[in-house]
Chains A and B, each alone.
Chain A
């Protein structure tokens, strides 16, 4: 973690009361539809989709957001924390406005995946896991995205881009505000 990230993390909201009220209301309004997919006596099962919803609304899963999700599902805070830190798609530290995730696993590597990753690092001036100074883009190297026959591939904000070339990558980056 860089010095900058650490400073942000120290200001991270710790309690539900610190979270913006309008966003908490939105979370509370959208949560029942998610919980409704599970049997009434198994509401805790909604932990993964509830954390995803929370991440969409609050941008990342601060300790306060983890507490909010645990509270609403009647689960221990520890449960929210262990799930949030186990799965790579949850952000427990602030990220850029866009997240770019490049696969470098074998099928992508055989078709230039590492070159795409190096190209992105050079273009953005960041290393793996880093965020551009303007807070626009976080870059991550990730594992197989299931796009092996149409490799190399990357996700941009969870949308797949396939058969990448450095030129295609530049066009995609240009479209990110």
Chain B
């Protein structure tokens, strides 16, 4: 699955990986808001928003072509609407869509690829995300792999029994596929009940703790300060001195 790569990337080591997840999330939000509110992408002001994530690529010590390629996942959607805007006589809007969506996706990917998922969810929680949502996210992420593998095993079993080769009516195929989903639902439901019982037995209080609690270091504060000031200056200076 695609996200396994992301899990491997997030466990590497680099300057970007060592930064506090909260600092990275705040700077990411400043970047996204500044870029989203930028009106004229044809001006020099856009340069800062292109340079910023590009500078983060070598700092992450991750495979740069793979990061650039993975960010292109947004392009099928973006290119469709950019083409429509271009045909409708709005080339500026088309280029703005492409630049904004691609670099926003790259910035998000850089943060996610350089932060282990438990630390990312913990940072979201300490920045004010509702606790129940964060716990659901943690369970979802934890069991996404397990349930997806279960689904893949069921699909393999169905193929072994001639799911694709046998000539069945559409109704029969529909009944078979829905039966598979119902069985998957049943297994997931039973697994959830068993997980909860075993977690309660191990003293689960509603929060999934981190092995090591993150602490603000000078480098984190410096990254937060310099990054935010750089991005806000790039956004606000053209307004103050047009």
State yes or no: do A and B come from one complex: no
